[in-house]
């Protein structure tokens, strides 16, 4: 070990007396310090501006630690590829060109000691460069309350592994040629290849797996996010061991030449050992994970994990169906995207359930949605000719795609209305996990959880929507209908994609099924018969959960049913004249009780921090009065406080004319509070009955319902909040900086320019004194 330390010390001395090394240190420090201080200047300036506008401003929505760290690491990623070849280009070939390698060979020093000593020297120098990044990362944690300190350590650890792996590669290349410039150029080329190799020939299975394993930059992406895995650590250690081993074999052969077959055997044996170790340590189920982030952003939410635990370890087979003639599918579902699909989309789930097997089916088909596009794009071309052209442009074999007829014999995907879809199979049960349109089509964690629950539960969860009297349509996606959040397979917030089936029933022709989980009556427009009303009343008396949406001028239809539970929809429409909007359209906040209905993101933030909260966009709402009867506990969930500008209009209301005027003569009424939504609950046996009643249905439509953040809360509560499966993370705590903008600008002058100038001056003095000696 003493000899290794002596060689390392000598190598480190050479580096510190090298103008190139000091140029690297100076340029790297100046760049990183400028990125850090300029980012801090921008954030502090924005913070002061926002605080001046709003004294209650609590900080930006995202993590400041991550913002600063990302800016610094982007710089590190760019410059390490440039600097490492300059530092490693002369490690071995300098000894060869100067002739000093013969002295080393003739001295009592082994090849192993030469290689390890040289490598230790460059490692120690690399720690100086990594230390520059560490200074600014750790400085960030002192300037940000509740900063991501462990994330900063994870990033530093990643750079330590990656830079030293790159140094091992550069060390090997430096012993292949006697020319330092040639060694630097080759090292640049190798680093460039390793950085981009994962984008090459990804349509071929064997090559795709090899290039994915060789892509050194991707192996550090998890560590940069704060996810430390044994697979990534072992990968870097294997790369270091592999190229140090190559270097020893190369120098040993230079000292004592061997036959080419013996050298080939040594290289192949070492490579095989590394590949075997890398393979077994990257198998699902044999990887250790540690999430270094404060909010566990790299780990599935505990609620999502619970749905995975419901599976017993039996194989879960995932089949991805990709239609060649769909732009969204070809951008994400083809073979060249497979590694992204597995390691970015599915790895969070593989971590907790490693027994997942992946299958792929590729086909082509023209449907109603893409027929017009392709007929215009390729006029006069047959379907087979279109497929050949598209496949050629994507550089993929047309033979891997099944014809429409072949695919329909396997599965009929037409009802799915999507061209990139996954089907999950568990213990013989199959369920679809759908993708969506857009740049990121993959399902969200709540969609995964819903599908897992569908696979493991013994009873389907159903909500029945009453039909037959022109109620809101759950099969239509028109602006005033309810299809977007109930049955739309393309809707990210639709019940069907959250694990709940929605269907219709006619009270005129059938009884209310006993197996449904909740009944929804959404704005009937013609009166129910006495028999239909009685069916609804009997259902409620038996303890059934329900949601009632009533509307102005039609409240009399549901009044007999609602009165049986102590709710009385009043006549008139609530108005709030506003010069920017029609008087019957306004925003209403959910009450405290309303914000506790479910864990939609804005509602859960209200529950955690008592700020914000969900709201609804009302379009013609009526007031609900109530009286607690038959053991019901009733609480308002949507209400508007009274003021001089709000009242119940009972006269003639013309919304597109002059604003209405309050007139007691016409029966207009002012109240201290206008209740638009209620929740009712009571105990019946061992069950809690849950009912929601609202005086407006429009806020649940696709036109109004996408605003306010309430989403599916009114459906979730009657389902006892088992669906949707919410996986919201807490807000980041590091949302502000401790430094003023004035001090941030002063820090730029001191750290970026002053310290860089001192560093440059120190390097010049040191090199001049060395030159004189």
> What is the pLDDT at residue 468?
92
How far apart CA 139 and CA 321 sit, in angstroms, is: 48
> What is the pLDDT at residue 773?
62
> What is the pLDDT at residue 262?
84
Average pLDDT value for residue range 349-367: 91
Tokens of 98: 């100067």
What are the pLDDT digits (tens) for 49-94? 888 887 777 778 888 888 888 888 887 777 777 778 877 777 777 7
- The answer to whether residue 214 scores a pLDDT higher than 70 is no
Eight-class DSSP state of 444: P
How many CA atoms lie within 13 Å of 165's alpha carbon, on the beta-carbon side? 24
- The answer to whether residue 642 scores a pLDDT higher than 90 is no
Residue 505's pLDDT band, with cuts at 50, 70 and 90, is very high
Residue 732's pLDDT band, with cuts at 50, 70 and 90, is confident
What are the pLDDT digits (tens) for 274-316? 888 888 888 888 899 999 999 999 999 999 999 999 999 999 9
Average pLDDT value for residue range 412-436: 87
What are the pLDDT digits (tens) for 159-197? 999 899 989 988 888 888 777 888 888 888 887 777 766
How many residues in the chain? 773
Please, are residues 232 and 294 in contact by the beta-carbon 8 Å criterion?
no
> Which of residues 71 and 357 earns the better pLDDT score?
357
Q: Between 111-143 and 230-255, two packed helices, what is the crossing angle to 10 degrees?
A: 150
Instruction: Tell me if residue 75 falls in helix, strand or coil.
Output: helix
> Which of residues 377 and 641 earns the better pLDDT score?
641
b/e map of 220-256 (b: 16 or more CB within 10 Å)?
bebbbbbbbbebbbbbbbbbbbbbbbbbbbbbbbeee
Using a 10 angstrom Cβ sphere, with 0-12 exposed, 13-18 middle and 19 or more buried, the burial of residue 187 is buried
CA torsion, ordered 187, 191, 193, 199, to nearest 10 deg: 180
Q: Please give the angle made by the CA atoms of 609, 305 and 546, to the nearest 5 degrees.
A: 65
Residue 360 main-chain phi, psi, to 5 deg: -135, 135
- Concatenated DSSP letters of 91-143: TTHHHHHHTHHHHHHHTT--HHHHHHHHHHHHHHHHHHHHHHHHHHHHHHHHH
- The answer to whether residue 219 scores a pLDDT higher than 60 is yes
> What is the pLDDT at residue 680?
97
Q: Report the percentage of the chain scoring pLDDT > 90.
A: 41
- The answer to whether residue 441 scores a pLDDT higher than 90 is no
Residue 202's pLDDT band, with cuts at 50, 70 and 90, is low
Q: Which domains does the chain have, with CATH numbers?
A: 2-292+741-772 (no CATH), 302-456 (no CATH), 462-719 (3.40.50)
How high is the mean pLDDT of the chain?
A: 87
**Most confident of the ranges 67-71, 510-514, 533-537:** 533-537
How far apart CA 222 and CA 151 sit, in angstroms, is: 11
The set of residues, in sequence order, having a beta carbon less than 8 Å from that of 508 and lying 6+ positions away, is 468, 529, 531, 532
What are the pLDDT digits (tens) for 253-277? 877 777 778 888 888 898 888 888 8
Residue 373's pLDDT band, with cuts at 50, 70 and 90, is low
The set of residues, in sequence order, having a beta carbon less than 8 Å from that of 397 and lying 6+ positions away, is 203, 391
Average pLDDT value for residue range 116-125: 89
> What is the pLDDT at residue 709?
92
E strand or H helix that includes residue 13: helix 2-16
């Amino acid at each position: 070990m003493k000899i290794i330390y002596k060689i390392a010390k000598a190598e480190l001395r050479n580096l510190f007396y090298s103008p190139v090394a000091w140029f690297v240190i100076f340029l790297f420090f100046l760049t990183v310090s400028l990125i850090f201080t300029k980012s801090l200047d921008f954030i502090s300036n924005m913070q002061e501006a926002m605080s001046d506008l709003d004294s209650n401003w609590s900080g930006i929505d995202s993590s400041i630690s991550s913002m600063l760290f990302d800016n610094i690491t982007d710089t590190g990623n760019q410059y390490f590829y440039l600097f490492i070849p300059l530092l490693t280009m002369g490690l071995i070939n300098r000894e060869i060109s100067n002739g000093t390698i013969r002295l080393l060979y003739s001295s009592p020093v082994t090849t192993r000691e030469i290689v390890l000593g040289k490598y230790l020297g460059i490692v120690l120098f690399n720690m100086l460069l990594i230390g520059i990044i560490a200074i600014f990362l750790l400085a960030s944690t002192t300037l940000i309350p509740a900063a991501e300190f462990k994330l900063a350590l994870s990033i530093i650890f990643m750079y330590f592994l990656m830079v030293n792996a790159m140094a091992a590669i550069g060390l090997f290349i430096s012993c292949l040629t006697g020319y330092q410039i040639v060694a630097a150029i080759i090292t640049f080329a190798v680093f460039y290849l390793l950085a981009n190799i994962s984008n090459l020939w990804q349509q071929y299975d064997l090559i795709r797996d090899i290039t994915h394993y060789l892509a050194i930059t991707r192996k550090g992406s998890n560590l940069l996010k704060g996810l430390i895995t044994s697979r990534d650590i072992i990968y870097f250690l294997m790369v270091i061991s592999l190229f140090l081993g190559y270097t020893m074999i190369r120098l040993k052969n230079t000292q004592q030449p061997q036959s080419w077959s013996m050298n080939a055997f040594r290289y192949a044996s070492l490579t095989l050992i590394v590949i075997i170790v890398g393979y077994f340590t990257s198998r699902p189920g044999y990887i250790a994970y540690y999430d270094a982030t404060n909010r566990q952003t790299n780990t599935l939410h505990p609620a999502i994990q619970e749905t995975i635990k419901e599976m017993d370890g039996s194989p879960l087979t995932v089949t991805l169906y990709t239609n060649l003639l769909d732009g969204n599918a070809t951008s994400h579902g083809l073979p060249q995207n497979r590694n992204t699909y597995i390691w970015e989309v599915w790895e969070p789930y593989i971590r907790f359930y490693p027994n997942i097997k992946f299958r792929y089916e590729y086909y082509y088909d023209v449907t109603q949605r893409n027929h017009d596009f392709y007929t215009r794009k390729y006029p006069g071309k047959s379907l087979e000719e279109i497929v050949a052209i598209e496949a050629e442009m994507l550089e993929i074999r047309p033979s891997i795609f099944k014809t429409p007829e072949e695919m329909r014999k396997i599965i009929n995907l037409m009802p799915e209305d999507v061209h990139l879809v996954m089907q999950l199979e568990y213990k013989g049960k199959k369920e679809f996990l759908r993708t969506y349109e857009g740049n990121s089509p993959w399902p969200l964690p709540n969609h995964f959880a819903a599908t897992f629950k569908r696979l493991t539960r013994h009873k389907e969860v159903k909500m029945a929507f009453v039909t037959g009297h022109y109620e809101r349509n759950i099969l239509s996606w028109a602006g005033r209908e309810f299809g977007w959040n109930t049955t739309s397979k393309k809707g990210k917030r639709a019940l069907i994609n959250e694990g709940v089936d929605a269907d219709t029933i006619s009270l005129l022709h059938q009884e209310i099924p006993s197996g449904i989980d909740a009944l929804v009556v959404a704005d009937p427009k013609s009166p129910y018969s006495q028999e239909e009303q009685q069916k609804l009343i009997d259902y409620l008396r038996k303890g059934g959960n329900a949601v009632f949406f009533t509307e102005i001028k039609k409240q009399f239809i549901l009044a007999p049913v609602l009165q049986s539970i102590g709710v009385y929809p009043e006549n008139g429409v609530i108005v709030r004249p506003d010069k920017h909007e029609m008087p019957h359209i306004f925003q209403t906040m959910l009450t405290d009780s309303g914000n506790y209905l479910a864990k939609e993101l804005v509602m859960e933030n209200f529950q955690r921090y008592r700020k914000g909260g969900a709201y609804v966009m009302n379009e013609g709402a009526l007031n609900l009065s109530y009286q607690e009867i038959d053991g019901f506990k009733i609480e308002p969930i949507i209400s508007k406080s009274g003021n001089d500008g709000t009242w119940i209009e009972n006269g003639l209301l013309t919304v597109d004319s002059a604003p209405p005027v309050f007139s007691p003569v016409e029966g207009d009424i002012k109240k201290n509070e206008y209740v638009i939504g209620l929740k009712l609950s009571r105990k019946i046996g061992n069950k809690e009955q849950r009912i929601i009643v609202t005086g407006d249905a429009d806020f649940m439509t696709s036109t109004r319902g996408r605003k306010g953040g309430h989403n599916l809360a009114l459906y979730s509560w009657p389902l006892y909040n088992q669906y949707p499966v919410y996986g919201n993370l807490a807000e980041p705590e590091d949302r502000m900086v401790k430094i003023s903008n004035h001090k941030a600008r002063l820090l730029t002058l001191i750290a970026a320019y002053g310290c860089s100038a001192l560093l440059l001056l120190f390097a010049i003095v040191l090199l001049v004194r060395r030159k004189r000696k």
